[in-house]
Amino acid sequence: MVIRKGTQADLVSVEQLYNDIHTAEETGQQTIGWIRGVYPTRATAQAALDAKDLFVLEDAGEILGAARINKAQVDSYAEGDWEFAARDEEVCVLHTLVVSPSASGKGYGKKFVKFYEDYALSHGCPELRMDTNARNAAARGLYKKLGYKEIGIVPTVFNGIPDVQLVLLEKHL
């Protein structure tokens, strides 16, 4: 298993991951709070690739996870009551973490978050921030288990999805 920078050739696989997540949500197998055709889409992955902050998790030649890692805090973060008052250059953000529904429960999400933490530290960012939809109980449970603190819930329109209760999370390393 390896986590690496995404490439143009990975876009088809990342888009398929998004579609698999949308299908799992539409059939009631998962609750994420995303909407097919709105977020995330191939354009979401392309934007991350273009910014050089798309990462993929590959195991046995198959892309089973993806995320965007950068220092871009979404606008809703300004409403957060963050416990740690870090300078922007000290904050690293994990966006759009996905793991294939077919690979769920195998520890890939945990491994991706560990990669994110190591990446952040190696880039001088001891303050970690991320968000998830309040409806996404699985992600909230994982992040809590990994030491992330929910610092608030902000009502917002998130990436074109209306009426999202956005859970803001942080961890200081």
Tell me the domain boundaries of the chain: 2-172
* Residue range 26-48, pLDDT digits in tens: 999 999 999 999 999 999 999 99
Nearest to 130 by CA among 112, 143, 141, 119: 143
Architecture of domain 2-172: 3-Layer(aba) Sandwich (3.40)
- φ/ψ region of 124 (left if φ > 0, alpha if ψ in -120 to 50, else beta) reads left
* Residue range 82-136, pLDDT digits in tens: 999 899 999 999 999 999 999 988 999 999 999 999 999 999 999 999 999 999 9
What is the model's pTM?
Answer: 0.96
Residue type, 26: E
